[in-house]
Amino acid sequence: MNASQTDTTLHARADQIYRDGIGSSRASTDRMFAGLMLLQWVGAVLASLLISPRTWIGETSTLHIHVWVAAILGGVIASLPIALAILLPGRAVTRHCIATAQMAFSMLLIHLSGGRIETHFHIFGSLAFLAVYRDWKVLMTATAIVAVDHWARGLWWPISVFGTTASSNWRWLEHAAWVIFEVSVLLLAISRALHDARGVALGRAEAEQRAELVGALVDARTLQLEEARAEAEAASRAKSTFLANMSHEIRTPMTAVLGFADIIQDPSLTPEQRNAHIQTIRRNGEHLLGIINDILDLSKIEARQMGLTPEPCCVRTIVAEIESLMRIRAAKKGITLESRFEYPQPASITADPLRLRQILVNLVGNAVKFTESGSITVVVHAVQVSDAEPILRVDVSDTGIGMSSDAVARLFTPFTQVDTSPTRRFGGSGLGLAISRRIAELMGGTLSVRSSPGAGSTFTLAIPTGDLSGIAIHHQPVAPLAAPDAARNDSRAPRIEGRILLAEDGTDNQRLIAFHLRKAGADIEIVPNGEEAIRAVERADQDGRPFNAILMDMQMPQMDGYDATRELRARGCTLPIIALTANVMQGDRERCIDAGCTDYQTKPINAPSLLGCIALHIERNRSTTTERRGSPEAHAA
Amino acid sequence: MKVRPLTTIVCLWLGLLGLGVGIIERYAHLPGPIGSEPGAHEQRERPLARMYVHPRCPCSRASLLELASLMSAPGVDADVEIHLYSPADASDDWAKGRTWQIAERIPRARVLIDPEAARAHADGALTSGHLVVRTAAGTVAFSGGITRARGEQGPSPAHDRVLPLLRTDPDQDNTLTLAAVAPATSPVFGCQITHERDCSTRAKR
């Protein structure tokens, strides 16, 4: 509704309130006059009994005709107005009959009182009472009766009103003028009262409108609150369900880990059996880590701590890697996995390759998981390179079980799985698609799905390509990429030659890390906290057997890794200090570097990554030290 | 043309009102009977005004108040007698009510009991409020009522006629001369003082 309509509605309502108010007031005044009529009738009878009760002839008397007149004529005068006030309150005819009756009562009372001038004030009082109607027409009726009465008497019977036969023909106007004078004042008062009544009605209409608006607002807010509460309850239920499912998801691999860990202690196992059990433990451990990583990713996104690192990346390479990675799993289920590119395609786009890979791995992985037979197709659509903001669109289609519209509606909701029943067929955290969509949105894109039960699903990822100026555009297929060699990923663990100080309070982690370091050739010393680490470094220097690097757990009792690193740096320690922490949120790496750490590794450890990192920094530190020793300043010293 | 019942009722009501007003107006201006013309009297030093009143007639109080108004007017120097009717076998208290008290307050007024209205009839007064004014010479200058309607006090032609008659200074008015030729009269509005006897009614308006 626009402002003009609102204004019209407001004034229409104000008019309605005004009319209702005036109507109600006039009906109420009618009832007041009904009472007044009765009172005047009784008053006229009493006055006649008091002033002229009987008429005499000699010593005999009869009831005075004034008494009869007061009783009968007074009753006639009062009867119709009283009836109308009861039967037709608020009607114009009622008001005008009452005005006429009031003037008739004035005449009757003036007559009964012997024409006393004082009784003439009944006319003025009646006009004032009639003004309560706030209807100028009523006053006109009363005034007209007085004026016509005086005009007629002055014309044909002047002695009855002026006491002389020689009065001017216009003298009636003198009498009428006094009535008109009062009526004029009353009309002014009526005009102002009506104006005020209109103002009050408008104010009330505005108040009603405001109340209506406030009511609507309250209703809307209440609805929003109810919806928010419902959503919160649904989220709470989803989290409870999720926790229940996660409990299952975590306990299942954990059962395998703990169970097979017990079994491998059996000395009767053959080496092949032991190796198979160890592989089972590792596979379940990796599965657990995947679940934990999903939860962490979602936490990062919800805490707005997930940062993206856009850089030039080759979509063909990423798709080829995923295809290579997933083909084996797909083949195991007897389904085919293929990719197809439409052209033109840029040689590279600007995006975070890790996150883009994460989304596509998730989509293809889901497709493999929910497809029992048929095929999975990854289609990279043509990029409209001439657009101001070109979009890369990738479809991942499968011939799987598909989903209903209800299932699609809650597909991207965190902690929600399509099947939440205790007997659900497919495992997983239920976070993958939620995380993928959030990452797509962080990239400035979208992730959507088209699906129907039994007809498979198609997930579409659309992300901006970034600026393509200067990027080569392929208009036809280029030479296929060589499939990444899985063996290349299994690079040999680096050798570490030197002394390593391991500051770690967890005995299991001490043993695990020590195992890897010793296996890589390192000589290690283990301390349980930061204070011990500082003392160990000093002691080693004094003994002439300094460390080559320090592996520092950042959360330890007594003195944590941050304080210990700061203290070591303060004492002039230049050794590489590799932070080791389970804190993987955005900013944790910066905190470690700020404290003085050289690099950063996360728990659970990736042994090759950890060893490579340590080896790299030992080598760098050695090179730096050599350079310093060979410099002119060093020789001068 | 179809007339609505309410219109009919209102018109009937207005008609009844008009009829009622007409009845009371007619009654208010219906004069009482007047008896035979009063005879001349002896000469006096001043004019004499005699009013005949039924002591219980409510309308006659207006006549007495009009007389009081005349007697209070500047230049008036007249004797006033007010004769209040009393039945033959009644005590004086029968006539001594509120009307008596009003009469006593009129300047220079003598209030007298008029048993059986003998004096009234002698002056031809049959209706309460009848005033007879005689000049100092004893001539009847006015005989009739001095109110304009029944029980109504206030300006009236009779008031204007009587006032000069009550003044003794002949230079102020020449009515005395005219009165000697033809006495003025005016309708009388009030109760009948007694039941009409054999005295003939002289005039009615």
* pLDDT, mean of residues A114-124: 89
Residues of A within 8 A of B114 (CB-CB) are none
Last residue of a domain, one of A291, A306, A321: A306
* Residues A301-338 pLDDT 10s: 777 777 788 888 899 888 988 888 888 888 888 899 99
Q: Tokens standing for A11?
A: 């004034």
The answer to whether position A237 is within a domain reads no
pLDDT beyond 90 at A195: yes
* pLDDT, mean of residues A219-231: 93
pLDDT band at A636 (very low <50, low <70, confident <90, very high): very low
Q: What is the DSSP letter of A569?
A: H
- Work out the percent of chain A whose per-residue pLDDT is above 90: 45
The reply to whether A271 and A418 lie within a common domain is no
Task: Tally the domains of chain A.
Answer: 4
The answer to whether position A240 is within a domain reads no
The answer to whether position A249 is within a domain reads no
How many angstroms separate the CA atoms of A156 and A163, rounded? 13
Q: Tokens standing for A317?
A: 């390479």
The reply to whether A170 and A46 lie within a common domain is yes
Residue of B4, B8, B16, B24 for testing the chain A interface, max A β-carbons within 10 Å: B24
Question: For residue A454, which phi and psi values (nearest 5 degrees)?
Answer: 85, -10
The reply to whether A66 and A124 lie within a common domain is yes
Number of residues in chain A: 637
Residues of B within 8 A of A55 (CB-CB) are 57-58, 191
The reply to whether A439 and A586 lie within a common domain is no
Q: What is the structure's pLDDT at B198?
A: 43
How close is the nearest chain B Cα to the Cα of A62, in Å?
11
Alpha helices in A543-580 (DSSP H): 561-570
Helix (H, G, I), strand (E, B), or coil: what is residue B82? strand
Of B14, B59, B148, the CB nearest to A163: B148
The answer to whether position A164 is within a domain reads yes
The reply to whether A366 and A473 lie within a common domain is yes
Task: Report the CATH number at residue A407.
Answer: 3.30.565.10
Between helix A432-442 and helix A353-370 the angle, nearest 10°, is 150
The reply to whether A482 and A511 lie within a common domain is no
pLDDT beyond 60 at A426: no
* Residues A478-509 pLDDT 10s: 765 554 444 444 456 688 888 999 999 888 88
3-state SS, one letter per residue, for B181-204: HCCEEECCCCCECCCCCCCCCCEC
How many angstroms separate the CA atoms of A545 and A175, rounded? 135
pLDDT beyond 70 at A388: yes
The answer to whether position A236 is within a domain reads no
Residues of B within 8 A of A164 (CB-CB) are 155-157, 160
How close is the nearest chain A Cα to the Cα of B67, in Å?
16
How many angstroms separate the CA atoms of A487 and A502, rounded? 31
Of B10, B24, B62, the CB nearest to A93: B10
* Residues A82-98 pLDDT 10s: 999 999 999 999 999 99
8 A C-beta contact, residue A298 and residue A260: no
Contact A76 B152 (CB under 8 A): no
Residues of A within 8 A of B113 (CB-CB) are none
Q: Which residue has the tokens 């010479």?
A: B137
Element containing residue A159 per DSSP (H, E):
helix A159-162
How close is the nearest chain B Cα to the Cα of A138, in Å?
16
* Count of CA atoms in the C-beta half-sphere (13 A) of A551: 30
pLDDT band at A523 (very low <50, low <70, confident <90, very high): very high
Contact B148 A65 (CB under 8 A): no
The answer to whether position A88 is within a domain reads yes
B25, burial (CB in 10 Å: exposed 0-12, middle 13-18, buried 19+): middle
Helix (H, G, I), strand (E, B), or coil: what is residue A392? strand
8 A C-beta contact, residue A404 and residue A458: no
Residues of A engaging B, defined by a Cβ cutoff of 8 Å: 51-61, 64-66, 69, 72-73, 76-77, 79-80, 88, 93, 97, 100, 104, 107-108, 111, 114-117, 159-160, 162-165
The reply to whether A291 and A324 lie within a common domain is no
8 A C-beta contact, residue A465 and residue A346: yes
Residues of B within 8 A of A160 (CB-CB) are 25, 28-29, 148-149
Q: What is the structure's pLDDT at B40?
A: 67
* pLDDT, mean of residues A570-589: 84
How close is the nearest chain B Cα to the Cα of A87, in Å?
11
How many angstroms separate the CA atoms of A255 and A35, rounded? 97
| Distances in whole angstroms, Cα of residue A234 to Cα of each of A226, A293, A410, A423 | 12, 24, 11, 21
Last residue of a domain, one of A180, A212, A244: A212
Task: Report the CATH number at residue A549.
Answer: 3.40.50.2300
Q: What is the structure's pLDDT at A628?
A: 66
Return the amino acid letter for A619.
E
The reply to whether A408 and A347 lie within a common domain is yes
Neighbours of B49 (CB within 10 A): 27
Q: What is the structure's pLDDT at B197?
A: 54
β-strands A473-474, A457-464 pairing: unpaired
Per-residue pLDDT of chain B (205 residues; tens, 9 = 90+): 455 889 999 999 999 999 998 888 888 889 998 888 887 677 788 899 999 999 999 999 999 999 999 999 988 989 999 999 999 888 888 999 999 999 999 989 999 999 999 999 999 999 999 999 998 888 899 999 999 888 888 888 888 889 999 986 545 444 444 444 567 788 999 999 987 654 444 433 3
The reply to whether A319 and A298 lie within a common domain is no
8 A C-beta contact, residue B69 and residue B41: no
| Distances in whole angstroms, Cα of residue B87 to Cα of each of A88, A118, A338, B50, B122 | 56, 36, 146, 19, 16
The reply to whether A81 and A138 lie within a common domain is yes
The reply to whether A360 and A475 lie within a common domain is yes
* Residues A128-175 pLDDT 10s: 999 999 999 999 999 999 888 888 887 777 777 776 666 677 777 887
| β-bridge mates for residue B114, sequence order | B85
Contact B21 A52 (CB under 8 A): no
Element containing residue A397 per DSSP (H, E):
strand A391-398
Of B17, B58, B194, the CB nearest to A104: B17
Cis peptide before A310 (omega within 30 of 0): no
In 3D space, the residue among A626, A534, A610, A621 whose CA is nearest the CA of residue A578 turns out to be A610
Q: What is the structure's pLDDT at A573?
A: 92
In 3D space, the residue among A599, A559, A595, A607 whose CA is nearest the CA of residue A579 turns out to be A599
Comparison of pLDDT for A535 and A286, the residue scoring more? A535
Residues of A within 8 A of B192 (CB-CB) are 56-58
Q: What is the DSSP letter of B34?
A: B
Of B24, B25, B157, the CB nearest to A164: B157
Contact B90 A160 (CB under 8 A): no
Query: Spelled out in words, what is the top-level CATH class assigned to the domain B48-186?
Result: alpha beta
Classify A349 in phi/psi space as left (phi over 0), alpha (psi -120 to 50) or beta: beta
Q: What is the structure's pLDDT at A224?
A: 94
Contact A58 B16 (CB under 8 A): no
Averaged pLDDT score across all residues of chain A:
85
Name the residue of chain A whose CA is nearest to B88's CA: A59
3-state SS, one letter per residue, for A181-213: HHHHHHHHHHHHHHHHHHHHHHHHHHHHHHHHH
Residues of A within 8 A of B28 (CB-CB) are 111, 160
Q: What pTM was computed for the model?
A: 0.54
How many angstroms separate the CA atoms of B154 and A113, rounded? 13
pLDDT beyond 80 at A18: yes
8 A C-beta contact, residue A575 and residue A537: yes
Contact B148 A61 (CB under 8 A): no
Q: What is the structure's pLDDT at A488?
A: 43
How close is the nearest chain A Cα to the Cα of B91, in Å?
12
Name the residue of chain B whose CA is nearest to A165's CA: B157
Q: What angle do CA A238, A366, A397 make, to 5 degrees?
A: 125
Range of the domain at A566: 499-636
8 A C-beta contact, residue A151 and residue A96: no
Last residue of a domain, one of A306, A331, A359: A306
The percent helix, strand, coil of chain B (3-state, each to 5) is: 35, 20, 45
The reply to whether A175 and A27 lie within a common domain is yes
Domain residue extents for chain B: 48-186
